[in-house]
Structure 1
Amino acid sequence: MLIVSCSTVKRVKDGKFLLTENEIEVDGKVTSNERLNNIPLQKPNSSINFFPLNLHIYNLARPNRDSIFEAWLDKSNRRKRLTNTLSKKQLNKLKQSTLNFNTWLKRIGEAPTILNEEKTEKTKSRLRAYYYKRGFLYNEVNYTIEKDSNKKAKVKYTITKNLPSIIDTLKTTIKTPIIDSIYKASIYASLIKEGQKYDEDNFTNERLRINKLMRNSGFYFFGQDYVRFEIDTFKSRNSLNTELFIDNRIIRYSDSTSTRPFKVFKIKAVNIITDASNENLIDTKQIKDSTTYNGYNLYSFNKLKFKPKALTDAIFIKKGDVYRDIDRTRTSDYLNQLQMFRYPTVDYVADETDSTLVANILLSPLKKYKLQFAFDVSQSNIQTIGFAFSTGLKIRNIFRGAETLDISALGSIGASKDAGNNEDSFFDINEFGGSVGLTIPRIFFPLNTNNIIPKSMSPNTKINISATSQQNIGLDRQTLSSILAYNWFPSKKVTNRLELFNIQYVRNLNPENYFGVYSNSFDRLNDIAKDIGYIGSNDELLNPPSDYGPADVFIDDVLNNNTSLSQGDVGYTDVNNINQRQDRLTENNLILSTNFNYTRDTRIDLSDNNFSRFKYHVELAGNLLSGISNLTNSNRNSNGRYEILNVPFSQYFKTELDYVKYFGKRGRKNVLAARAYFGIAIPFGNSSNIPFVESFFAGGPNDNRAWTAYNLGPGSSQNTNEFNEANLKLHFSLEQRFNLFGNFDGALFVDAGNIWNAFGNVEDDPQSTFNNFKSLRNIAVGSGFGIRYDFTFFVLRSDIGFKTYDPSLTKGNRWFTNYNFSKATYNIGINYPF
């Protein structure tokens, strides 16, 4: 209320005006073109939903705060009283703290934008130049300023484009014959054509295209400055004559210059210095080790620590080849991706007598060993708070082939919902594990794959073995996994990953404690047993920690028709569902899969806030093991499933689509982010359901934030399970991010989605099953807001989600029923949710 009550013109002096709006009208229509609206040199103060919060914060600061404080001290003999109470030093500290707070308000706030008509005139010139460059050479720009009695002003720019100018003719004057031939051979790719509207960007990009073409055709000394255009507007007001000039090479001497035709340069030699530094490059006589491999010369000031092939495979510059800029770029990129060297450089030494180049590749190895740490905070339906940490040791060039060995360990502790029990420790959940991974900078495969995946795609092979152990999470489990994967990069935007073999073995350590973990299922069995008189109304089914307890006996009695329940009864269906879920979650899993991942990310760097990212994942599991079992006529178990080492293996198809789009300006924090996700896993063959580790869940700090992890769905069911999971998932998010002040950012978000059972033999109730498109009415909607603090290298995030549409409630009572702080979900996370 205090902030709102402050006037936006509180700090605007008399005779000055606060700029509240820029309006740009083009040919009689107001435009919303973002690029055009960014041209004005003066912009209104930033706002959140039309409310200028930062301006109000700035207005809270008092001008001349120093003199105001002194006047306050002198009033009513206050200085004398405070001096008697406080020491002089304490009084100065009081004054300084008051001044610091005033300065802080100004720093995090935003000073009012005062209308400056000189900048308005400059903006007019910039708008005219913008349309001039777009081909409207005779455009007209005017502006009007509307001022009111409240010291506020609005600027309206009016633009009349008039007719565009067209390129009538295009001539060329190229003095070096071979360059003239190459240009004419590529004329089809030219960005400038007769009959085209004039656009300055086309001329700029055409110069870049010609420069790139020539420098990739052997012309080492060619540069963009040699390409120029002359445009003649004499013929007609709206018709242009254009001529392209490419001059000969200019050679400068000490006191004169001369010109001569460009020549094609070839690579005479390629030298690789494997341990270059500023010190040892001064005297090349100190080289102690050298060798020649496939036409490459390798030198080392100490003993050569790399196998020659490991380095030459990363070099695209070859002896005898015509010089190409792209070879230098690819070489630098590949060497950087090896993560073996510090700023690798490629230098050329030219020999004018025979038009040759010597390429010197300077490599400065990074330290062989690197130790790193990571930390994370999480929440879920079973965990009020959890802390995870990991540490890793990186060993470079371990086998002298530029390989990298990563040895890591991870651990986490958490507090469960029952951590308040005085008999248990607060942190009663833990997970520990480790992994060993080897990265080989090439495709490690018996057959030659260069024709399919050339080295220009920077391929590598990753081999990883990991093991984890969890306690007090579900049934406690151990996981052993191994991966053989290939990665390659067709372009800077695209990443491909093929996991040829992904083996997972999951062993549940404590299956007899199923009903101790899934207490909701146990409570439901108790209720059914009481309802049918199986036990007394004051009794309970016992579930001692044994392999076969009374709860299991009751399930068997129901399914064997030894009770009053029969198929079709609600109680019978619930018992059957509980039994199926118990079997599925307590069985050990063996998964052998092959999967492919495609990622296309258009983001240029961290300041780019206008990009998209698309991920596609497809996975097939169990086909190889199924084929082997069929060929060897292996025996099936009592459930009709093949087993490997007494464990039934899983067989399924899984695919996921994930799309993220950001709408924002480079370097700005005002960003609209959207995400859409679809995932499905279909069991077949040796499986009738999806392993728990491969199923989908909903809710949590990176999903639908109005529900905790595992707490949403499936469908419109009543959330009776501690871990809700299914094999089909939809998710959508829309989030508006903005800066509040300083490093504090805010966000408003809407999340929608759910999970369902589909294509399995899980005989679930219709509320949990995706039957047809009518099931989409059970998409849950959450909304809320968040506060973030940007530490530059990571973002600490706190989000509050409210259940906006809850499909688990009765129809007609789903919208905004629990939309309050007491029913809200509070999330803590690191970095953005997507």
Structure 2
Amino acid sequence: MKINLNTYCKYFLASGITAFVMSCSNTKFLKEGEMLYTGGEVKVENDSISKKEKKALKSALEENLTPKPNSSFFGLRPKLYAYNATKEPEKEKGLKYWLKYKFGEEPVLLGDVDREFNKDIIVNYSENKGYFNAKAKYDTVSKNKKAQVIYTLNPGNQYLINKVNFLQDSTLINQEIQAIKDKSLLKPGNPFDLEVIKSERQRIDDAMKDKGFYYFSPDNIIVQADSTVSKNHKVELNVKLKDNTPKLATEQYTIDKVVVFPNYNLRDAKRGKYSIPMNPDSLKGYEYNDIYVVDPDKKFKPRIFDRALYFDKGDVYNRKDHNLSLNRLISLGVFKFVKNEFIVSDSLNHKFDAYYVLTPRELQSLRLEALGRTNSANYAGSELNLNWTQRNFFRGAEQFKASVYGAFDVQIGGPADAENIFRAGTNAQLSIPRIVAPFRFNSSSAFVPRTNIQIGYEFQNRTTLYTLNTFNASFGYQWKENVRKEHELKLIDVSLISPANITPKFEDLKRNNPYLQRVTDRQLIFGPTYSFTYSTTMLPQKNTFYYKGMLDLAGNITGLLTGANYKNGDIKNIFGVPFSQYAKMENDFRFYHKFSEKTSFASRFIGGVAIPYGNSEHIPFSRQFFVGGSNSIRAFRARTLGPGSYDPRTAENTRALFDQAGDIKLELNAEYRVNLYKFLNVAVFADAGNIWLMNDDIDENGINSRPGAKFTSDFMSEIAVGAGVGLRLDFSILVLRLDLAMPLRVPYYAKDERWVLDKVKFGDGSWRKDNLILNIAIGYPF
């Protein structure tokens, strides 16, 4: 690819001039004597601390400075310019108002900066980090109507912890505090840090709450620092209860009664039917395993509360069990609001009653959904779903869902006999909030484990090719260890695929394409599947991870027992249908990094392999891997890429061969995301990957029908690469995504011509039609 150096020099020169002009142009709007504030900088002058510590201290101090200067982008301030350049709008709506007050930013001036206040912040923060002798000063640097404030900090030496004393007395609560002092966050030799002290007080509070001290608070703990008893910039810490700690906070409480109101609503409360505290003995209730249930209509079986609640009569109060019980009640999915109160019933013996007031959701719902869609394979269509949900099917918070649906996809812009698709089906699912099994399953998770039973049927018609009838059923379990880890085990997952109405046209196509034969083969797939998900994406931190691993073992035990071996021609059937035997594994890794509130980086790697053996020479088409499309490699249309370096243009009828599938998949995606304004986001992305076959596709004449499709040691040369830009409209409940992508590397081109950067011609309409792929989708790709 030739590069015109003069053109690039002119471009960068023009860019530099534009940046300079836009940067300077904001100052012309300032009044006489005003200066644009460009930010504050903190310089740390101390030779006794390391460069790393200086950098961390400097960064933390600059983060605390106020106010923040106007936002900039590569040195430019477009939002400030929009505010300055837009005239005052006459109305509080319209483009001018949006530009000035929604998109634009009012100028931050030097006069808005309280430099003395910032200096005090710098000193106070430094003292909280153990720099007890910190001193600061500031200076203002101005030029061309712009001003920056330089703060200089001389922190002195950082004081270290010499000794930590937990002062003793004879009270019960002090004995409990002494029992946990070995796990203290305050360690001799560590720097004095007010944040660590706050965390230590919270740690003690958490531990006391778990020991029955319900009314205890972190404010009841005081940590006294004494720097006079030690030398060499060291401090001694004394941890003790405050002298004015309320007596109630030092008393250990136990549970007296556990009372559940599972059918509570606000209307009843307004009428005075229920009130807290209340006398449960005067209400129409009954006792079940020490739980008093007030449910006159008996809408719920009491055992669901026995499983969900972790408090029993006589138990010492425990904060963990308190939160665990609330979370499990919520995760049942049948209650809209869950309220919990503890009311003292015996102050002399330190007992209280635990009340659980539950407001049920609508137990039944009927919902009709209609949606339209389009994809990068030139299909547009619609889908209609009718869903019925019953959230208390057997009075045990079992959720039963039944649905019927119909959908069609029409190939737009294609010939008159295009392969339009019609689908219709029904399915039913029963989700039971416990593990139904001959063994005992104990879970101390905040999430209720579930047993899921599902059955369904789908009719699919590709109008000019074939019709498929698919029956499926599954039985398995789903449980979460905690908010990060989730497991799903399907002990049995069965699919029966039966073809009908195969047209002569499709018979013609599959004669020279053996992989198409597998699309309409009668298939029986059954076996266990297991998936594990680990995610930290819900945590408020800069770096988060997501991983999902899946293992699918089909027909393994049956194949072993029957001695099936396709290599010897010994293929076994069940009810006249050959069963599939294979092992499949897929791994999905994602990493997210947040640069700021408005910029982030997202990446994903998918690796999967499916190995047929025993009764199967090939993986069933419905269980193979696919790439391309709006959630994959976006520079290639859905399911048109691969396998390997196979060139789909060499097929007899390329229009009919969209669905390219493989047994091995590698894919890598990366996006840089920027929020421009509230719901408006943009992204720059790159995708790479491909699929491959485990075995060659040999037709009846012994010819490989898809050359280059098999996985070899040369697989890296067959990686497809694409890149593009995207626009995302994020309305929280709905994300509309438009991604425009183009291929950078095409694996089915000649080996020395696969990189196509030198063939990019944005001005050529024919090139744009063949290479620019617009993906319209709902939600983020990953």
Report the TM-score when normalising by structure 2.
0.85
Paired residue for 2:436, among 430, 435, 444? 444
Q: How far does residue 381 in structure 1 lie from its aligned partner after superposition?
A: 5.2
Distance 1:38 1:389 in 2: 51
Counterpart position of 1:598: 532
Distance 1:225 1:158 in 2: 35
Q: Deviations over 1:268-293 (max 9, x none)?
A: 22112222232421486897642221
Counterpart position of 1:619: 552
Q: Secondary structure at the match of 2:733?
A: coil
The 1:777–1:165 alpha-carbon spacing in structure 2 relative to 1, beyond 3 Å, is farther
Give the aligned residue type for 2:65: P
Is the 8 Å Cα contact of residues 642 and 649 (structure 1) preserved in structure 2? yes
Q: Secondary structure at the match of 2:110?
A: coil
Q: Secondary structure at the match of 1:491?
A: coil
Are residue 718 (structure 1) and residue 647 (structure 2) matched? yes
Q: Secondary structure at the match of 1:281?
A: coil
Paired residue for 2:712, among 771, 775, 780? 771
Paired residue for 2:146, among 152, 155, 158? 152
Q: How far does residue 101 in structure 1 lie from its aligned partner after superposition?
A: 3.1
Q: Secondary structure at the match of 2:329?
A: helix
Paired residue for 2:394, among 396, 399, 402? 399
Q: Deviations over 1:520-571 (max 9, x none)?
A: xxxxxxxxxxxxxxxxxxxxxxxxxxx6x6x77xx6xxxxxxxxxxxxxxxx
Q: How far does residue 195 in structure 1 lie from its aligned partner after superposition?
A: 2.0
User: Which range moved further: 157-166 or 481-490?
Assistant: 157-166
Counterpart position of 1:828: 776
Trace 1:730-741 onto structure 2 (pairs within 5 A): 730-741=666-677
The 1:181–1:777 alpha-carbon spacing in structure 2 relative to 1, beyond 3 Å, is farther
Are residue 499 (structure 1) and residue 487 (structure 2) matched? no
Paired residue for 1:271, among 240, 249, 259? 259
Trace 1:645-724 onto structure 2 (pairs within 5 A): 645-664=575-594, 668-720=597-649, 721-724=657-660
Give the aligned residue type for 2:743: K
User: Which range moved further: 199-208 or 125-134?
Assistant: 125-134
Are residue 410 (structure 1) and residue 405 (structure 2) matched? yes
The 1:375–1:729 alpha-carbon spacing in structure 2 relative to 1, beyond 3 Å, is farther
Give the aligned residue type for 2:35: F
User: Which range moved further: 435-444 or 16-25?
Assistant: 16-25
User: Which range moved further: 286-295 or 400-409?
Assistant: 286-295
Paired residue for 2:685, among 724, 749, 759? 749
Counterpart position of 2:750: 810
Are residue 212 (structure 1) and residue 212 (structure 2) matched? no
Distance 1:320 1:46 in 2: 59
Q: How far does residue 444 in structure 1 lie from its aligned partner after superposition?
A: 0.8
Distance 2:761 2:454 in 1: 46
Distance 2:467 2:415 in 1: 20
Is the 8 Å Cα contact of residues 714 and 769 (structure 1) preserved in structure 2? yes
Distance 1:201 1:104 in 2: 41
Give the aligned residue type for 1:472: R
Q: Which runs of 5+ in 2 are unaligned?
A: 1-14, 650-656, 699-703, 763-767
Distance 2:396 2:65 in 1: 56
Is the 8 Å Cα contact of residues 60 and 105 (structure 1) preserved in structure 2? no
Is the 8 Å Cα contact of residues 457 and 472 (structure 2) preserved in structure 1? yes
Is the 8 Å Cα contact of residues 11 and 112 (structure 1) preserved in structure 2? no
Q: How far does residue 710 in structure 1 lie from its aligned partner after superposition?
A: 0.6
Is the 8 Å Cα contact of residues 651 and 685 (structure 1) preserved in structure 2? yes
Counterpart position of 1:524: none
Counterpart position of 2:291: 296
Paired residue for 2:274, among 281, 285, 310? 281
Distance 1:21 1:811 in 2: 53
Is the 8 Å Cα contact of residues 54 and 740 (structure 1) preserved in structure 2? no
Counterpart position of 1:584: 518
Counterpart position of 1:781: 721
RMSD: 3.2
Distance 2:641 2:452 in 1: 36
Paired residue for 1:240, among 228, 235, 238? 235
Paired residue for 2:34, among 2, 7, 16? 16
Are residue 470 (structure 1) and residue 464 (structure 2) matched? no
Is the 8 Å Cα contact of residues 445 and 481 (structure 2) preserved in structure 1? no
Is the 8 Å Cα contact of residues 406 and 438 (structure 1) preserved in structure 2? yes
Distance 1:509 1:159 in 2: 81
Q: Deviations over 1:733-787 (max 9, x none)?
A: 2211112234322111111222122367776766323212x42232222111111
The 1:480–1:118 alpha-carbon spacing in structure 2 relative to 1, beyond 3 Å, is same
User: Which range moved further: 816-825 or 725-734?
Assistant: 816-825
Is the 8 Å Cα contact of residues 379 and 708 (structure 1) preserved in structure 2? no
Trace 1:313-352 onto structure 2 (pairs within 5 A): 313-350=307-344, 351-352=346-347
Percent identity, please: 27
Q: Secondary structure at the match of 2:211?
A: coil
Paired residue for 2:189, among 189, 192, 195? 195
Give the aligned residue type for 1:641: I
Are residue 42 (structure 1) and residue 64 (structure 2) matched? no
Distance 2:456 2:112 in 1: 67
Is the 8 Å Cα contact of residues 688 and 760 (structure 1) preserved in structure 2? no
Give the aligned residue type for 2:670: L
Paired residue for 1:792, among 715, 720, 732? 732
Q: Secondary structure at the match of 2:330?
A: helix
Is the 8 Å Cα contact of residues 349 and 357 (structure 1) preserved in structure 2? yes
Is the 8 Å Cα contact of residues 367 and 387 (structure 2) preserved in structure 1? yes
Q: How far does residue 117 in structure 1 lie from its aligned partner after superposition?
A: 6.3
Q: Deviations over 1:419-450 (max 9, x none)?
A: 552x78xx943222221111111101122222
User: Which range moved further: 8-17 or 198-207?
Assistant: 8-17
Q: Deviations over 1:112-160 (max 9, x none)?
A: 33334634443343344333333333345454443222x3334444445
The 1:307–1:130 alpha-carbon spacing in structure 2 relative to 1, beyond 3 Å, is same
Q: Secondary structure at the match of 2:644?
A: coil
Distance 2:676 2:391 in 1: 44
Give the aligned residue type for 1:790: D
Counterpart position of 1:62: 87
Q: How far does residue 458 in structure 1 lie from its aligned partner after superposition?
A: 2.1
Are residue 508 (structure 1) and residue 526 (structure 2) matched? no
Distance 2:328 2:749 in 1: 56
Largest Rg, 1 or 2: 1
Q: Which runs of 5+ in 1 are unaligned?
A: 67-95, 252-258, 517-546, 556-574
Distance 1:34 1:711 in 2: 49
Report the TM-score when normalising by structure 1.
0.80
User: Which range moved further: 715-724 or 648-657?
Assistant: 715-724
The 1:3–1:709 alpha-carbon spacing in structure 2 relative to 1, beyond 3 Å, is farther
Counterpart position of 2:159: 165
Distance 1:675 1:625 in 2: 36
Is the 8 Å Cα contact of residues 734 and 749 (structure 1) preserved in structure 2? yes
Distance 2:157 2:695 in 1: 61
Is the 8 Å Cα contact of residues 214 and 249 (structure 2) preserved in structure 1? no
Q: How far does residue 333 in structure 1 lie from its aligned partner after superposition?
A: 0.2
Q: How far does residue 604 in structure 1 lie from its aligned partner after superposition?
A: 3.1
The 1:44–1:654 alpha-carbon spacing in structure 2 relative to 1, beyond 3 Å, is farther
Q: Deviations over 1:378-433 (max 9, x none)?
A: 44454432333434221121101111111123332222156552x78xx9432222
Q: How far does residue 184 in structure 1 lie from its aligned partner after superposition?
A: 2.7
The 1:455–1:795 alpha-carbon spacing in structure 2 relative to 1, beyond 3 Å, is closer
Distance 1:812 1:36 in 2: 54
The 1:765–1:394 alpha-carbon spacing in structure 2 relative to 1, beyond 3 Å, is closer
Q: How far does residue 31 in structure 1 lie from its aligned partner after superposition?
A: 4.6
Counterpart position of 2:177: 183
The 1:712–1:176 alpha-carbon spacing in structure 2 relative to 1, beyond 3 Å, is farther
Are residue 53 (structure 1) and residue 47 (structure 2) matched? no
